């Protein structure tokens, strides 16, 4: 049971990128009808209701200490208000390929901030793991073609996405600081509250629609999905993983997003699997192993024990 419990953070840190991989595709669709701030406000509005109800029934509300509030505000401004809004804004100007490539640098920034802010020690092995994983992301997103890489055109949207990698890194590190006092649920809920305080007035101020998109069932379905899965479930999973594994280990798994995007496209869109998918995925997995190899050791040890019991 102990080994199974130790695997839970790793399962959740894989679940979060799996859910977020759908966010990039769905966000590209929703941005055609709604502004980035409206999408984020609706999405995190749904998540905040769910988080508040769960926190009320499970733990109740308690006022955090004054020393924790700065990290709550930072987390709300970066992870809730800033990151996803900038993702949608960036997708307005740039392509999903550019977004995936630029986002691959996120684990490196998390590692650097962990050294500066949390005083974590980071060896060359883990930094090497980051870059092996980035290489895998590059290979998948450019379809293994040097011509595609050379033909990429960068625009203001790419600068937004690049700045956003820093925003997410700050969110991940501030989460670790928050959870020195708060539970995972409380930290996620309070950060959502802060983000909503900024998102709602901004969404109202930037509202330009006649309201017709909200008459579309598919729009509502997309927003509810983002609220329940990409915000409520995925953010709780991510912060739980950060609390148990640390931000630098969790950051390695963030680069699973383009891997999952490729898998979803193959399964649901009928796209063909190519050699670059396989090699790129193996590189990402190798980067994850190098950055947190004991996860595999735990898994293999558990599997070996189960096998021995069956043989006996």
Mean pLDDT, rounded, for 50-56 = 96
Read off the pLDDT of residues 6-22 as tens digits, 9 standing for 90 and up: 789 999 999 999 999 88
Read off the pLDDT of residues 104-139 as tens digits, 9 standing for 90 and up: 777 777 877 887 787 776 666 666 777 787 787 777
Mean pLDDT, rounded, for 57-79 = 92
* pLDDT at 236 (0 to 100): 95
Domain count within the chain: 1
What pTM does this model have?
Answer: 0.80
For the cut 60, the answer to whether the pLDDT of residue 306 exceeds it is: no
* pLDDT at 194 (0 to 100): 96
For the cut 70, the answer to whether the pLDDT of residue 98 exceeds it is: no
Distance CA 218, CA 180 (A): 40
Work out the pLDDT band at 96, boundaries 50, 70, 90. Answer: low
Between 115 and 53, the more confident residue is 53
Q: Which domain covers residue 52, as residue numbers?
A: 2-311
Between 109 and 102, the more confident residue is 109
Distance CA 150, CA 128 (A): 25
* pLDDT at 16 (0 to 100): 95
94 Rama sector, left if φ>0, alpha if ψ -120 to 50, beta otherwise? beta
Work out the pLDDT band at 246, boundaries 50, 70, 90. Answer: confident
Rg of the chain, C-alpha, whole Å: 20
Q: Exposed, middle or buried, 143 (CB in 10 Å: 0-12/13-18/19+)? A: middle
């Amino acid at each position: 049971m102990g080994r199974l419990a130790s695997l839970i953070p790793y399962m959740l840190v894989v679940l979060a990128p799996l859910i977020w991989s759908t966010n990039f595709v769905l966000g590209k669709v929703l941005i055609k009808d709604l502004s980035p701030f409206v999408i984020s406000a609706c999405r995190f509005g749904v998540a905040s209701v769910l988080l508040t109800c769960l926190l009320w029934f499970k733990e109740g509300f308690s006022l955090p200490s004054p020393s924790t509030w700065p990290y709550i505000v930072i987390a709300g401004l970066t992870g809730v208000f800033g990151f996803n809004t900038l993702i949608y804004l960036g997708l307005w100007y740039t392509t999903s390929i550019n977004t995936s490539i630029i986002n691959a640098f996120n684990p490196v920034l998390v590692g650097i901030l962990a050294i500066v802010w949390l005083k974590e020690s980071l060896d060359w092995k883990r930094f090497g793991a980051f870059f092996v994983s980035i290489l895998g992301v590059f290979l998948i997103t450019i379809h293994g073609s040097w011509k595609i890489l050379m033909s990429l055109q960068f625009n203001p949207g790419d600068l937004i996405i690049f700045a956003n990698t820093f925003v997410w890194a700050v969110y991940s590190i501030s989460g670790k600081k928050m959870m020195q006092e708060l539970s995972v649920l409380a930290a996620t809920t309070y950060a959502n509250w802060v983000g909503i305080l900024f998102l709602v007035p901004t969404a109202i101020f930037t509202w330009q629609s006649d309201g017709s998109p909200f008459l579309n069932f598919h729009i509502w379905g997309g927003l509810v999905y983002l609220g329940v899965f990409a915000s409520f479930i995925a953010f709780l999973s991510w912060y739980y993983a950060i609390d148990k594994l640390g931000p630098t280990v969790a950051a390695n798994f963030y680069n699973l997003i383009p891997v999952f995007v490729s898998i979803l496209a193959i399964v649901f869109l009928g796209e063909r699997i190519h050699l670059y998918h396989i090699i790129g995925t193996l590189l990402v997995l190798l980067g994850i192993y190098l950055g947190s190899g004991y996860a595999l050791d735990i898994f293999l040890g558990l599997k070996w024990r189960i096998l021995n019991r069956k043989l006996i």
